[in-house]
Amino acid sequence: MNYLVPIIAVFGFYNITSKINNKLNLKINDFYFSIFSFLIFLGLTLILILSQIKLNTVFSGLLIIFCISTLHFVYTNSNSIYLFLIKEKILSIFLIFFSILTLLPIAGADSYAYHLAWPQDLIDDPKILFDKLFLESRVIGTGEIVNYIGLILGTENLLSFLTFVVLFSYILRFKKGRRNLILLIILSSPIYYKYLNDQKPLLLPCIFLIIFIENFFSKISQKNINNLDIASFFLSLSFFANSKYPFLLIAFSVFLFFLYVSIKENFFKRYFLVGLIIFF
């Protein structure tokens, strides 16, 4: 069950958010809205954690909902999945192989030392947010909340599988013309293999930020920026900045750059207000 939970959680969550997006008619791509919703979900989970609420029962219920949602996703998309497997045989084998790798037992000692240790301690005793004797807790960031969600659902591999799904879904859906080149670059990058089966929250925050920065640039060039685009950018920037201390300076530089762009492109007020709401 440990190896099925990441699949159930990721695709179940995506199916739910896509239905919400279609129902609300927000005119935003399901992929972007799903990531936006996940970042909101992370924020709400963090608030509940800080409130020292025991969430085991809540997430057990969510897992059941995700199971039903995943079955519905497979049923409604069975023809598309089958056609993709037939048409893209080599790519399908590659994706299945690498997805299995993300679900194998963890290889990195650091993952067990604190990336998973702190969330597990928090699940065992929600009243103790940080153990003063546990020095590694001083470098805990928002990335560990993803591991917390995974552990409370019953898996250690949620972060690695989610990173894989988001990265390759983005390439296959939005970079079709340069798909083979991008896949080749990724597969020739040692850093990807290093974190492929690890639960260090390094790749996922970077991927989220890159996705929404590109979306932000696209909307700016089209003169079609809405508040949801700005909120998505700031949520990804906040997740990135709070994942690791070294990311803070990078995030601040990105914030200043787009602050300048917002002034130049006449959406400074919205940029400032949305950023203020999300960060504070």
Of the listed ranges 85-99, 114-128, 248-262, the one predicted with least confidence: 114-128
- Residue range 116-131: average pLDDT? 78
- Residue range 205-226: average pLDDT? 91
Give this prediction's pTM. Answer: 0.91
Q: What is the pLDDT of residue 6?
A: 93
Q: What is the pLDDT of residue 131?
A: 65
Q: What is the pLDDT of residue 142?
A: 85
Q: What is the pLDDT of residue 113?
A: 63
Q: Is it the case that residue 137 has pLDDT exceeding 70?
A: no
Tokens of 14: 């995506």
For the chain, the C-alpha Rg in angstroms (whole number) is: 19
Q: What is the pLDDT of residue 30?
A: 92
| Percent of the chain scoring above 70 in pLDDT | 92
Of the listed ranges 106-110, 123-127, 154-158, 181-185, the one predicted with least confidence: 106-110
